[in-house]
Chain A
Amino acid sequence: MSIKLPAVIDRRAVPGLAVEISDTLAKGSHLQLDGSAVRQMGQIGLQLLLSAFKTAHGRDARIVISQPSAAILNAAKLSGTLDLLGLESTHAA
Chain B
Amino acid sequence: MQHDEIQQIFLLECDEGLDLAERALLACKDGNEDAEAINSIFRAVHSIKGGAGAFGFTLLQSFTHKFETVLQQVRDGDKPLTPALLATLIRAFDVLTDHVSAIKGQVDAPSDGAISTELEAIAESDGSDAVQAAPLDPVTPNVAEEATDEEGDIDFDDLLAGLGAAEPVVGGHVLHLRPTMRALDNGSDPLLLIRELNSLGATVRTVDLSGLPDLDNFEPEGAYISWEIDVPASVSRATIEEIFDFVGEACGISIHVAGEEPRFTDVPVRSAAPTMPMVETAAAPVAAKAPTPAPAPVSAAIEAPKAVEAISVSAAPEAPATGPATQSSGNAGPVPTIRVDLDRLDRLVDTVGELVITQSMLAQRLSGAGVAAEDELSQLEYLTRELQDCAMALRAQPIRSVFSRVPRIVRELEAETGKRVMLTVEGEATELDKTVIERIGEPLTHLIRNAIDHGLERVEDRIAAGKAAEGSVRLSAEQRGGHILINVADDGRGIDRARVLQKAIDRKIVTGDARLTDEEIDNLIFAPGFSTAEQVSNISGRGVGLDVVKQAIQGLGGRVSISSEPGKGTTFSLSLPLTLAIADGMIVSCGGETLILPLNNVVESLQAKPDDLKRLSPTQHVINVRGSFLPVVPLTSSLGIGKTGAGYDKSVLIVVETESFGQIAIQVDAIQDQRQVVIKSLETNFRPITGIGGATILGDGRIALIVDVEALAAAAHSPRELDLAA
Which residues does A use to contact B, with CB under 8 Å?
7-8, 11, 14-15, 18-19, 21-22, 25, 30, 32, 36, 39-40, 42-44, 46-48, 50-58, 60, 62-71, 73-75, 77-93
Contact = CB atoms under 8 A, between A and B. Distances in A.
Contact of B184 (A7, A43, A66, A73): A43
A78 B198 contact: yes
A80 B207 contact: yes
Contact of B214 (A42, A43, A58): A58
B191 A75 contact: yes
A36 B183 CA distance: 28
A44 B69 CA distance: 14
26 contacts: A7-B124, A8-B124, A18-B215, A25-B215, A39-B124, A43-B223, A50-B209, A54-B308, A56-B305, A64-B298, A73-B152, A73-B154, A74-B148, A77-B159, A77-B318, A78-B191, A80-B313, A80-B314, A82-B315, A83-B293, A83-B313, A87-B298, A91-B160, A92-B295, A93-B296, A93-B297
A11 B297 contact: no
A71 B76 contact: yes
A88 to B, nearest CB: 7
A62 B206 contact: no
B190 A90 contact: no
Given A51-B212, A83-B313, A74 B145 contact: yes
A44 B185 CA distance: 11
B171 interface: no
A32 B78 CA distance: 24
B225 A47 contact: yes
B152 A68 contact: yes
Of residues B184, B206, B310, which shows the largest number of chain A Cβ atoms within 10 Å of its Cβ?
Answer: B184
A90 to B, nearest CB: 5
B86 to A, nearest CB: 20
Contact of A46 (B147, B225, B280): B225
Name the 6 nearest CB pairs between A and B, nearest first.
Answer: A92-B295, A80-B315, A80-B204, A91-B156, A42-B189, A55-B214
A33 to B, nearest CB: 11
Contacts of A58: 214, 280-281
Given A39-B78, A71-B76, A73-B148, A21 B204 contact: no
B577 to A, nearest CB: 52
Contact of A47 (B149, B212, B304, B313): B212
B725 to A, nearest CB: 73
Contact of B227 (A57, A73, A79): A79
B268 interface: no
B267 interface: no
A64 to B, nearest CB: 5
Interface string B255-297: 0000000000000000000000001110110000010111111
Contact of A84 (B123, B299, B300, B308): B308
Contact of B301 (A21, A64, A83): A64
Contact of A11 (B184, B190, B309): B184
B279 A54 contact: yes
A87 to B, nearest CB: 7
A84 B73 contact: no
Contacts of B205: 80
Given A57-B281, A81-B207, A90-B298, A43 B190 contact: yes
Q: Interface on chain A toward B: helix, strand, loop, or mixed SS?
A: helix
Contacts of B195: 78
A86 B301 contact: no
Given A47-B212, A84-B207, A91-B159, A79 B194 contact: yes
Nearest to B313: A80
B303 interface: yes
Given A21-B215, A62-B303, A89-B293, 17 more contacts: A18-B215, A44-B220, A47-B223, A50-B225, A54-B209, A54-B309, A55-B214, A65-B298, A67-B298, A71-B76, A74-B76, A75-B191, A77-B148, A79-B194, A79-B227, A83-B313, A88-B292
Interface of B: 69, 72-73, 76-78, 123-124, 126, 144-145, 147-150, 152, 154-157, 159-160, 179, 183-184, 189-192, 194-195, 198, 203-207, 209, 212-216, 218, 220-225, 227, 279-281, 283-284, 290, 292-310, 313-316, 318
Given A8-B124, A73-B152, A86-B293, A66 B207 contact: no
B126 A51 contact: no
Contact of A55 (B77, B78, B215): B215
A19 to B, nearest CB: 8
Given A14-B220, A39-B78, A57 B309 contact: yes
B78 A89 contact: no
A43 to B, nearest CB: 5
B484 to A, nearest CB: 47
B213 A84 contact: no
Contacts of A57: 281, 283-284, 305-306, 308-309
Nearest to B289: A83
A68 B191 CA distance: 18
A64 B302 contact: yes
B624 to A, nearest CB: 81
Contact of B316 (A67, A69, A77): A77
Nearest to A25: B215
B147 A77 contact: yes
A50 to B, nearest CB: 6
Contacts of B297: 93
B73 A39 contact: yes
A43 B423 CA distance: 42
Nearest to B302: A30
A56 B159 CA distance: 27
A46 to B, nearest CB: 7
A93 B225 CA distance: 28
Contacts of B302: 30, 32, 62, 64
Contacts of A42: 189, 191-192
B298 A71 contact: no
A48 B299 CA distance: 21
B610 to A, nearest CB: 89
A69 B73 CA distance: 13
A14 B224 CA distance: 14
A22 B192 CA distance: 28
Of residues A11, A39, A69, A78, which shows the largest number of chain B Cβ atoms within 10 Å of its Cβ?
Answer: A78
Contacts of A60: 283
Contact of B69 (A40, A64, A67): A40
Of residues A19, A63, A82, A87, which shows the largest number of chain B Cβ atoms within 10 Å of its Cβ?
Answer: A82
A93 B295 contact: yes
A43 B306 contact: no
A73 B155 CA distance: 11
A65 to B, nearest CB: 7
A84 B505 CA distance: 84
A39 to B, nearest CB: 6
A73 B141 CA distance: 15
B295 A85 contact: no
Contact of A53 (B206, B301, B306): B306
